[in-house]
Amino acid sequence: MDKIIIRGGRRLSGTVPVSGAKNAALTLLPCALLTEEPLTLRNLPRLADIDSFQHLLNQFGISTAIAGARPEDFGRVMTLQATRLTSTVAPYDLVRKMRASILVLGPMLARAGEATVSLPGGCAIGNRPIDLHLKALEAFGARIELASGYVRAIAPDGGLPGGSYTFPVVSVGATENALMAAVLAKGTSTLHNAAREPEIVDLCNLLVAMGAEIEGIGSSDLTIHGVSRLHGATYMVMPDRIEAGSYACAAAITGGDVLLAGARMEDMASTVQALRDAGVHVEEVRGGLQITTDGPLRPVTLSTAPFPGFPTDMQAQLMAMLCMAEGSSVLTETIFENRYMHVPELNRMGARIETKGRTAVVHGVKKMTGADVMATDLRASMSLIIAGLAAEGETRVHRVYHLDRGYERLEEKLSLIGADVERAGD
Ligand SMILES: CC(=O)N[C@H]1[C@@H](OP(=O)(O)OP(=O)(O)OC[C@H]2O[C@@H](n3ccc(=O)[nH]c3=O)[C@H](O)[C@@H]2O)O[C@H](CO)[C@@H](O)[C@@H]1O
Ligand SMILES: C=C(OP(=O)(O)O)C(=O)O
């Protein structure tokens, strides 16, 4: 397994291109199940998770073709076509690699009248149940059976009738699954307390481009008028707000000056607010967001929350940056119960972080030092990279496969802005 080696202490400056959003792409790809016609997605990031999802879709008989990507380009174009489905089963071996596989349940049920998906189970960041996905589909008229580690959803003859569901907790994945099931239902469906992350808006925009009828896009109350068929479309994946925020933290911890090319302010307001509270300048400029730092970082107090709140997927990266702020920051993780695995590793690099339940107190230090560190999830890995950029000496981040799930050509992008970073075999 590869590791990333960083020799810290360089000030980052220049332009970093922001890739297509992983978490948008992973809900746009299963939309190929909803039509017999071709779906072309542009700006798809080159990531291990996208490759795994492609593999999963191929297993249902969906053809996938990648067009004209030169090795030096970021992103690529994929055309998917589900002319005929040869299987409606998502097996354990593919689902366990990637939790987002559960997002085939809703569209497969809508298209084929039934779907069987291995239960994804928990993961390093927490329990991650799917009860709300199932309750929403039941509310739309599906019958749900659980057996041998699999969930089977079955629509009545003639298709899902549609219905109404109010989420007791905001869930991104459950909102996505419910939307993809409702667009082909016979009647009208409503979702209340739905997630309204920018990736959900991206999904709604693609579904509308395919002929779906959705009201309330961008709000927590969605009304979906089912249509009898959807058609193909060509669609551009939105920029990755979490990748952009990660590079912003990397720039800030090195006192740098970096343009996040392609980043959109409207997707990132809470992250931008947190950066500004920390004393980082963030300006909307032509082509993206400019990050500059000209003084010490200040401490920040915040809690993660569903959009438009501060994203849980940015918590670890912001924490790494705040390790070198002047004063004590207080971060509270409200979404996932076990998302502080980066804390002991950051502390091994000289950070002073204490956790109590869901709250972490980050006492700023003047200096961090490079070390061998091990990450257990995607954003935790990125937090160690960020710390390594500011630490004295060499940091070796092991288990790079986590980073390859969600950061397109990380070491190349960091090198573009002046980091001393390389990938090596372990
Ligand atoms: C591929 C993708 O887009 N993943 C994102 C998605 O994950 P994901 O969609 O899995 O996360 P959810 O928004 O569903 O989870 C939010 C909260 O709801 C709870 N819950 C969720 C579903 C359910 O059926 N029952 C239940 O209790 C979860 O335990 C968690 O506490 O949103 C998360 C929250 O923004 C992000 O961290 C992930 O990066
Ligand atoms: C938690 C994340 O992803 P996933 O839901 O795919 O695990 C993430 O993107 O930070």
Domain map of the chain by residue range?
A: 3-18+239-424, 22-236
Mutate which of 19, 22, 23, 199 to test ligand 2's pocket (most atoms within 8 Å of Cβ)?
23
User: ∠ CA(73), CA(97), CA(334), 5° rounding?
Assistant: 95
- State the CATH architecture for 22-236: Alpha-beta prism (3.65)
CATH code of 3-18+239-424, in short, is 3.65.10.10
- The Cβ of residue 115 has, within 10 Å, a number of other Cβ atoms equal to 27
User: Ligand 1 center to residue 313 CA distance, Å?
Assistant: 11
HSE, side-chain direction, 13 A CA sphere, residue 405: 19
3 state SS of 414: helix
Q: Report which of 66, 33, 337 is spatially closest to residue 176, judged by C-alpha positions.
A: 33
User: Ligand 1 center to residue 172 CA distance, Å?
Assistant: 5
Q: Which tokens is 165 given?
A: 């569901």
User: ∠ CA(305), CA(306), CA(308), 5° rounding?
Assistant: 95
Ligand 1 site, residue 63, Cβ cutoff 6 A: no
Q: Report which of 65, 59, 62, 53 is spatially closest to residue 26, judged by C-alpha positions.
A: 53
Tell me which residues have their CB closer than 6 angstroms to ligand 2: 23, 99-100, 125, 313, 378-379, 406
User: What does the pLDDT look like over 293-316, one tens digit per residue?
Assistant: 999 999 999 999 999 999 999 999
Question: What gap in Å lies between CA 366 and CA 253, rounded to an integer?
Answer: 11
Question: What gap in Å lies between CA 365 and CA 322, rounded to an integer?
Answer: 9
Mutate which of 377, 403, 407 to test ligand 2's pocket (most atoms within 8 Å of Cβ)?
377
Question: What gap in Å lies between CA 403 and CA 239, rounded to an integer?
Answer: 18
Helix (H) or strand (E) holding 362: strand 359-363
What residue type is 74 in one-letter code? F
Question: What gap in Å lies between CA 72 and CA 154, rounded to an integer?
Answer: 45
Give DSSP secondary structure letters for 4-52. EEEE--PPPEEEEEPPBPHHHHHHHGGGGGG-SS-EEEEEE---HHHHH
Q: Which tokens is 188 given?
A: 């009208």
Q: Which tokens is 221 given?
A: 């109350």
What residue type is 177 in one-letter code? N
Asked if 26 and 53 touch (Cβ cutoff 8 Å), the reply is yes
- Flag residues of the chain having pLDDT under 50: none
Q: Which tokens is 45 given?
A: 């990031």
Q: What one-character DSSP code corresponds to residue 132?
A: H
Ligand 1 site, residue 174, Cβ cutoff 6 A: yes
What residue type is 90 in one-letter code? A
- Chain centroid, CA 247 distance in Å: 15
C-alpha distance across the termini of the chain, in Å: 6
User: What does the pLDDT look like over 80-100, one tens digit per residue?
Assistant: 999 999 999 999 998 988 999
HSE, side-chain direction, 13 A CA sphere, residue 135: 13
Question: What gap in Å lies between CA 48 and CA 135, rounded to an integer?
Answer: 30
Does the annotation flag 6 for ligand binding? Answer: no
Burial of 186 (0-12, 13-18, 19+ CB in 10 A): middle
Tell which atom from ligand 1 comes closest to the C-alpha of 335: 31
pLDDT of residue 272: 98
Phi/psi region, residue 68 (left: phi>0; alpha: psi -120 to 50; beta: rest), is left
| Residue that the structure tokens 């809470």 belong to | 270
Please name the residue whose Cα sits nearest to atom 8 of ligand 2: 313
User: Ligand 2 center to residue 57 CA distance, Å?
Assistant: 19
Stated pTM of the model: 0.98
Handedness of CA 36, 42, 47, 49 (dihedral sign): negative
Active site residues: 123
User: Ligand 1 center to residue 129 CA distance, Å?
Assistant: 8
pLDDT of residue 68: 64
Asked if 275 and 252 touch (Cβ cutoff 8 Å), the reply is yes
Question: What gap in Å lies between CA 372 and CA 349, rounded to an integer?
Answer: 9
Question: What gap in Å lies between CA 362 and CA 323, rounded to an integer?
Answer: 6
